[in-house]
Structure formats: C-alpha cells, structure tokens
Amino acid sequence: MAIAGSVTVSESQGITYLNIDNRFATAKVSLFGGHVLSFTPKSDEVDRLWLSPHAYLNGERPIRGGIPVCWPWFSDDHGKEKGALPSHGFLRTQVWQLQRSEDTSVGTELVLSPSFTRADGFEYDCQVTLTIIIGESLSASLRTENTGVTPFTFNTALHTYLAVPSVQKVELEGLSGQYKDKLADWAVKDTPQPYKFTAETDRIHLNAPSTMTLKDNGEAFTQIGSDGHDSVVVWNPWQSAASISDMDAFGFVHMLCVETACTQGVALSPGESHTLTQIIGPPERSS
C-alpha cells in the first residue's frame, strides 16, 4: 500500500507511529490503540492535545492522553462486575492497521481499522473504522457497521485530552442543561454558568451540543465540534492525579478531557451503521 507523501512511519519500543507533516498541521498517530497523540496547526503552532509525560508508550497499557478510542462500552458499563472486563472496551489496547492514506486539498486522510471487534463482552459481527483528517482542524470519525444478522447495542467515546494553559483559568462554553455527577453518586445537577474548574470533575452531560469552545482568560483558543453523539463527558482528576500511575501530581493543570460520547446506547440493526465524530482546532476567526 502506498503511503501519502505527508506521512512518515517510525517505531519505538514496539509501537509504530504515523507522523504527519502537511501544509496545514503536524500530527502523530499511534497504531497501538488507533490513537491520535498530537495535533499542532501551523496557524499558531499550539498542540491542541495533551499527552502525559508518564504515558506508557510500550504497548503494555492504554496510552494516557491524546484521543483514546472507547468502544464498545464506556467506562465499566459492560454489564459485568467492575474490573471483569477492560475499562472503556478493548480497542484502545489493540494494534490497528492503516487501510488507506491520502493527501487532499483539505489535509491528510488516514483510515485505520482494529485487529478484531469480537471479544468477551461483545460477540457480534461488525466492522469498525477510524477516519482521521489532519487539516486546519483535526477530525476523528469512528464508524461502526453491523455486518451480522443480529441487532446489537453499544456505547462509544472519543476520550479526548485537550491541552490547556491552566485548567484553573479556562472556561468551557457551549454546555447547558443538566449533567450526571459521577463524584456525587450520579446526582443530576445543573450545568454551571460560567463553566469553570476548581476541583475534581467527572460529569456526563446529556444535553450534547454540536459546538463547544474553550476559553483562556476570556479568549477563545480551541473549538470542539461533535456529531453522532448523545453525551459530552467532562473530566479532570485534579489532585487525584497524584494517585494515577501514568500522570504526575500536577499533570491535571494542563489538561481537560472533553469527550464526544454515546453513553445511552446506540442500537444497530443488521446493515445499519453509526458514526461518532469530533473536530478539534483553533477557533474560527472573523474576517
């Protein structure tokens, strides 16, 4: 298979990486996990993704940071006891294959697929593909197609770790309505306005907008687009980061997870498909 001209391939500690450098941006994708690790637009040279300096980059554990792929369940919602199956499913610890790469007028397109989609906890016939477009913005689309004869239901998320200058100073704009607070025994609460961060946060917002914006000291610096989702998950471990083996105690300061997700169940009949998309980039500038 021919590799697009903007793509080079490298390997380290058993992990194969796709390194993209086109006229719009640079990016890095790990085939372990089908995992986008960085995206830096050339318009401002600011990486929009956060990768833990202590992330396991040897294939032994899921990678902390970037855009982990959660599928076919979110968190431990797999119907068995917690810990019986891997959290967030089994795609983020697989080696994915590059099916196609192409340079186009809007960026570099990569199409990846996992090694397998049937495992304990999900034994249905389906096809999963991840299409990544590196242009002025980063687009990641996870498509699930039911290729069998049995209907199934699944959950999924693009568990994106966004880089922020300081989480204590940023504001997330675009969310409203109510959310489920995982840290308060799933209590339903109203979304704060303005939406700022002063403590550990783990929330599932069921009002799922198509556009959100991160602001730093009142100025927009990252725009987040979503499609095919029924939820937005917002997470920051705050001081609990000290107990996470692949984060440092103050790593929480420079990251915020804003996840495009399906947490309420996507039902697919035979022949049907579903696509979950997240688009990340600099805010649109008025001319």
Instruction: Give the model confidence (pLDDT) of 104-125 as tens digits.
Output: 999 999 999 999 999 999 999 9
- The candidate with the shortest Cα–Cα distance to 52, out of 72, 37, 69, is 37
Supply the DSSP symbol for 53. Answer: T
CA distance 140 to 37: 12
Query: Six-digit token pair at 188?
Result: 């339903």
Q: pLDDT band for position 86 (50/70/90)?
A: confident
Query: Six-digit token pair at 210?
Result: 């198509």
Q: Is the pLDDT of residue 76 over 90?
A: no
- The candidate with the shortest Cα–Cα distance to 99, out of 82, 111, 114, is 111
Q: Is the pLDDT of residue 286 over 80?
A: no
Is the domain spanning 7-281 CATH 2.70.98.10? The answer is: yes
138-146 and 273-281 beta bridge pairing: antiparallel
**Three-class secondary structure of residue 224 per DSSP:** strand
Burial of 32 (0-12, 13-18, 19+ CB in 10 A): buried
pTM of the model: 0.96
Which residue's entry shows tokens 């995982």? 182
Q: pLDDT band for position 287 (50/70/90)?
A: very low
With residues binned 3-state (H G I as helix, E B as strand, rest as coil), the percentages for the chain, rounded to 5, are 5, 50, 45
pLDDT above 70 coverage of the chain, percent: 99
Sheet containing 7-12: which strands, arranged edge to edge?
7-12, 15-21, 25-30, 35-41
Q: Is the pLDDT of residue 268 over 80?
A: yes
Which residue's entry shows tokens 């799933």? 186
Q: pLDDT band for position 285 (50/70/90)?
A: low
**For the chain, what are the domain ranges?**
7-281
Residue 34 has what pLDDT?
A: 98
Residues 6+ apart with CB under 8 A from 104: none
CA distance 91 to 113: 10
Q: pLDDT band for position 80 (50/70/90)?
A: confident
**Residue 202, strand partner residues:** 235
Q: What's the mean per-residue pLDDT of the chain?
A: 96
Supply the DSSP symbol for 253. Answer: G
Instruction: Give the model confidence (pLDDT) of 167-203 as tens digits.
Output: 999 999 999 999 999 999 999 999 999 999 999 999 9
Mean pLDDT computed over 60-78: 94
